[in-house]
């Protein structure tokens, strides 16, 4: 009988990161997937990053030793910066992925990873003994035993595909759902609910009239998602832009009765930030020019993705819609758009370590936990993988704090506030956004990744080099006196100052850019881009950072005050009944988390604060 230390169920973005993380830490890991052909598949938009916080998640994931950043940096079709003028905290990256290459690279990474075994199989059952998960049972009748189990089932758990009023079982178009596993999860005491998501049609490249479309400009970047550096890809492939028309809106309006959002075919809750074109027309009937991005899916395929045109209308209506859009009049649909409804967990069933409260040694990650998006899934996979391995090794669990990162914000939101729609990361969800930037993710999390064992020695040496260089450059700014010769000041259109300035004082002025300094201080240019960006932003934002710093540090301090796992709250006299019920339901792991529980009264919060703040170290 084969005994593993970590068994990961599911080969999507969460499952892959989970399996790689656990194996890197050095525990015997098994990854079970229905199909080894679809490891790391991008079921929806073939892109990483984009909306601001998603790229932040990947930089953070990479700092912690995750794989997604490195792989997309080798498999992109184009990569661009977004939001550059909107400020350093929200500057973002977006890479269009060659989705087959991405999958191939991820599959290879899994196959080559020491301590990790890949296996095909359909898991139908979680084996539980005395409240602890001990293994999984397969459709084939085979059982695998493991000290910890990580579930990353994506849209496959109880998946049902919807197009118009047609509804049938499936986890992704053309692939079977995991039906028995849902029943098994309910039997072991987990509560499930339905969420849904949808995807647009893919069309054939040759059927597009490109003369009617405009390409998005390409960029050549020095640095991508990973701290290890970006692979240069000379011939990038652009994405294209068109818009819907009045006619599009009319077609949709006259067919709305066939849309699953109207005909009742979908009962699960969909993501607000990723509505179907049907819903957009329904909600904003006066808007006719919805942006549609036409995106290549890879170098070895002619399929093009239609970002912005998500719909699960019947295929014939999808054709009518396309016929109204400039450039797509004669589009041939290869894969029609569809919606998929799936089982995921009712909130508050896992700790911020992603371990189940109900079943010990069982971890969950990704869409199963109520999120949406590859990046959101990947970071949870990594955290679940690290914690499953640490549990096997008898180490203290890792909680990524809300005050450290978007990863922390995401997990804390899920564990403390819950979500009633598929959760997507946004920068506006973070209270201290200017502290969580792309450029300082390594400073925030690099050391943790190295300590966990998910970052290799050689990667860490390189990353330490970046951190040291950043120190050096910061010193340079802080100790270098600004030259007083007139030309600099003329160029800056400023009167020469009447006292000595240091560089760091100078650059606080909003009109100063790094470019304007490089002529006078060429030594700055020798530092790699991420180092320069980090130092520049730290110094430039100093005023704003300092204004928030004491609040931010207090929040961080509260995160460090731990609450024991099975703490009996009735030991704190005077807590209200409602407060007790909430605390016993959420089971917070830190004082900071406890104080954020929605609905907890001010009085209860004060009591918790006093109790744990006082007993810190004494408990």
Q: Could you tell me if 582 and 603 are in contact, meaning their C-beta atoms sit under 8 angstroms apart?
A: no
Q: Which of 490, 613, 615, 619 binds other proteins (CB under 8 A)?
A: 613
Residue 89 vs 95, nearer CB to other proteins: 89
Residue 532's Cα: distance from chain center in Å?
25
601 binds other proteins (CB under 8 A): yes
Number of residues that bind other proteins (CB under 8 A): 59
Q: Is 452 exposed, middle or buried (0-12, 13-18, 19+ CB in 10 A)?
A: buried
Helix and strand numbers (H, E) in the chain are 21, 20
Residue 42 vs 89, nearer CB to other proteins: 89
Q: Could you tell me if 299 and 101 are in contact, meaning their C-beta atoms sit under 8 angstroms apart?
A: yes
513 binds other proteins (CB under 8 A): no
605 binds other proteins (CB under 8 A): yes
506 binds other proteins (CB under 8 A): no
Residue 472 vs 578, nearer CB to other proteins: 578
458 binds other proteins (CB under 8 A): no
Q: Could you tell me if 405 and 444 are in contact, meaning their C-beta atoms sit under 8 angstroms apart?
A: yes
308 binds other proteins (CB under 8 A): yes
Q: How far is the CB of 435 from other proteins (least distance, A)?
A: 11
Residue 168 vs 273, nearer CB to other proteins: 273
* Short-list 245, 255, 270, CA closest to 314: 255
Enumerate the H helices of 264-314 as residue ranges: 277-283
130 binds other proteins (CB under 8 A): no
Helix (H, G, I), strand (E, B) or coil at 307: strand
User: 344: part of which helix (H) or strand (E)?
Assistant: strand 338-345
Q: Distance between CA 604 and CA 592 in Å, rounded?
A: 13
Residue 429's Cα: distance from chain center in Å?
13
307 binds other proteins (CB under 8 A): yes
Q: How far is the CB of 393 from other proteins (least distance, A)?
A: 36
Q: What token pair was written down for 157? A: 């758990």
Residue 83 vs 204, nearer CB to other proteins: 83
Q: How far is the CB of 550 from other proteins (least distance, A)?
A: 8
Q: Which of 187, 212, 246, 272 binds other proteins (CB under 8 A)?
A: 272
291 binds other proteins (CB under 8 A): yes
Q: How far is the CB of 412 from other proteins (least distance, A)?
A: 12
Q: Distance between CA 535 and CA 241 in Å, rounded?
A: 36
Q: Which of 433, 444, 532, 587 binds other proteins (CB under 8 A)?
A: 433
Residues 42-81 vs other proteins: string with x where CB under 8 A? ---x----xxxx----------------------------
Q: How far is the CB of 335 from other proteins (least distance, A)?
A: 18
436 binds other proteins (CB under 8 A): no
DSSP strands (E only) in 274-367: 291-296, 303-307, 333-335, 338-345, 362-364
290 binds other proteins (CB under 8 A): yes
Residue 181 vs 294, nearer CB to other proteins: 294
Region near other proteins per CB under 8 A, out of 129-137, 272-280, 335-343, 514-522: 272-280
Residue 556 backbone zone (phi > 0: left; psi -120 to 50: alpha; other: beta): alpha
Enumerate the H helices of 76-135 as residue ranges: 99-112
Count CB atoms within 10 A of the CB of residue 471: 11
Q: How far is the CB of 308 from other proteins (least distance, A)?
A: 4
Q: Is 227 exposed, middle or buried (0-12, 13-18, 19+ CB in 10 A)?
A: buried
384 CB-side CA count, 13 A = 37
Residue 83 vs 207, nearer CB to other proteins: 83
Count CB atoms within 10 A of the CB of residue 305: 25
602 binds other proteins (CB under 8 A): yes
Residue 119 vs 605, nearer CB to other proteins: 605
431 binds other proteins (CB under 8 A): yes
Q: How far is the CB of 575 from other proteins (least distance, A)?
A: 9
Q: Residue 118's beta-bridge partner residues? A: 31
Q: Percent helix, strand and coil across the chain, each rounded to 5?
A: 40, 20, 40
87 binds other proteins (CB under 8 A): yes
Q: Enumerate residues 335-354 that contact other proteins by CB under 8 A.
A: none
284 binds other proteins (CB under 8 A): yes
Q: Distance between CA 418 and CA 410 in Å, rounded?
A: 10
Q: Could you tell me if 387 and 353 are in contact, meaning their C-beta atoms sit under 8 angstroms apart?
A: yes
420 binds other proteins (CB under 8 A): no
Residue 8 vs 274, nearer CB to other proteins: 274
What angle (nearest 5°) sits at the alpha carbon of residue 108, between those of residues 104 and 110?
Answer: 120
Q: Enumerate residues 519-578 that contact other proteins by CB under 8 A.
A: 541, 544, 547-548, 550-551, 554, 573-574
DSSP 457-483: HHHHHHHHHHHHHHHHHHHHHHHPBPP
Q: Which of 426, 467, 492, 580 binds other proteins (CB under 8 A)?
A: 426
Q: How far is the CB of 52 from other proteins (least distance, A)?
A: 6
Q: Distance between CA 610 and CA 319 in Å, rounded?
A: 63
88 binds other proteins (CB under 8 A): yes
Q: Return residues touching other proteins (CB under 8 A).
A: 45, 50-53, 82-83, 85-90, 92, 271-275, 280, 283-284, 287, 289-291, 293, 307-308, 310, 426-429, 431, 433-434, 510-511, 541, 544, 547-548, 550-551, 554, 573-574, 595, 601-603, 605-607, 609-610, 613-614
């Amino acid at each position: 009988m084969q005994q593993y230390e970590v068994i990961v169920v599911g080969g999507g973005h969460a499952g892959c990161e989970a399996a790689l993380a656990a194996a890197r830490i050095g525990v015997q890991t098994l990854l079970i997937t229905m199909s080894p052909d679809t490891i790391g598949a991008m079921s929806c938009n073939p892109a990483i990053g984009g909306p601001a916080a998603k790229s932040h998640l990947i930089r953070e994931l990479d700092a912690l030793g995750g794989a997604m950043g490195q792989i997309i940096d080798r498999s992109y079709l184009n990569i661009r910066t977004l939001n550059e003028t909107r400020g350093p905290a929200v500057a973002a990256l977006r890479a269009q992925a060659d989705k087959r290459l991405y999958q191939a690279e991820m599959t290879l990474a899994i196959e080559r990873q020491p301590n990790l075994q890949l296996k095909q199989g359909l898991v139908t059952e979680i084996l539980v003994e005395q409240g602890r998960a001990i293994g999984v049972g397969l459709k084939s009748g085979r059982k695998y035993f493991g000290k910890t189990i990580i579930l990353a089932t994506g849209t496959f758990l109880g998946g049902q595909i919807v197009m118009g009023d047609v509804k049938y079982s499936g986890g992704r178009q053309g692939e079977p759902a995991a039906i028995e596993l849902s029943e098994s999860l309910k039997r072991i005491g987990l509560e499930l609910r339905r969420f849904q998501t949808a995807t647009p049609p893919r069309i054939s490249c040759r059927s597009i009239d490109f003369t009617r479309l405009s390409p998005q400009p390409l960029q050549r970047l020095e640095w991508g998602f990973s701290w290890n550096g970006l692979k240069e890809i000379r011939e990038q492939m652009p994405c294209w832009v068109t818009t819907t028309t009045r006619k599009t809106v009319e077609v949709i309006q006259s067919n709305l009765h066939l849309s699953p959002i109207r005909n009742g075919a979908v009962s699960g809750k969909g993501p607000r930030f990723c509505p179907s074109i049907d819903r957009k027309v329904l909600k904003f009937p006066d808007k006719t020019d919805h942006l549609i991005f036409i995106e290549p899916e890879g170098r070895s395929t002619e399929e093009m993705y239609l970002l912005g045109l998500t719909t699960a209308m019947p295929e014939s209506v999808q054709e009518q819609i396309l016929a109204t859009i400039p450039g797509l009049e004669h589009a041939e649909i290869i894969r029609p758009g569809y919606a998929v409804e799936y089982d995921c967990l009712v909130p508050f069933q896992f700790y911020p370590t992603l371990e189940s409260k109900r079943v010990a040694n069982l971890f969950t990650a990704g869409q199963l936990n109520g999120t949406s998006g590859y990046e959101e899934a990947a970071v949870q996979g990594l955290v679940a993988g690290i914690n499953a391995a640490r549990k096997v090794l008898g180490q203290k669990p890792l909680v990524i704090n809300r005050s450290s990162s978007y990863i922390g914000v995401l997990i804390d939101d899920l564990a403390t506030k819950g979500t009633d729609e598929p959760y997507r990361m946004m920068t506006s969800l973070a209270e201290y956004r200017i502290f969580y930037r792309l450029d300082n993710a390594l400073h925030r999390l690099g050391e943790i990744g190295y300590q966990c064992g998910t970052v290799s020695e050689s990667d860490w040496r390189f990353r330490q080099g970046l951190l040291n260089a950043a120190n050096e450059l910061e010193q340079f700014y802080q100790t270098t006196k600004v030259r007083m010769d007139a030309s600099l000041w003329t160029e800056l259109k400023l009167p020469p100052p009447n006292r000595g300035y240091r560089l760091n004082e100078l650059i606080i002025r909003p009109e100063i850019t790094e470019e304007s300094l490089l002529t006078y201080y060429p030594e700055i240019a020798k530092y790699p881009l991420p180092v320069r960006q980090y130092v520049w932003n730290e110094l430039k934002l100093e005023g704003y950072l300092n204004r928030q710093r004491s609040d931010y540090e207090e929040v961080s301090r509260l995160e460090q005050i731990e609450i024991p796992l099975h703490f009996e709250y009735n030991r704190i006299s005077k807590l209200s009944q409602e407060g007790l019920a909430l605390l016993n339901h959420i089971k917070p792991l830190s004082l900071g988390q406890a104080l954020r529980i929605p609905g907890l009264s001010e009085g209860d919060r004060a009591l918790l604060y006093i109790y744990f703040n006082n007993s810190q170290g004494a408990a």
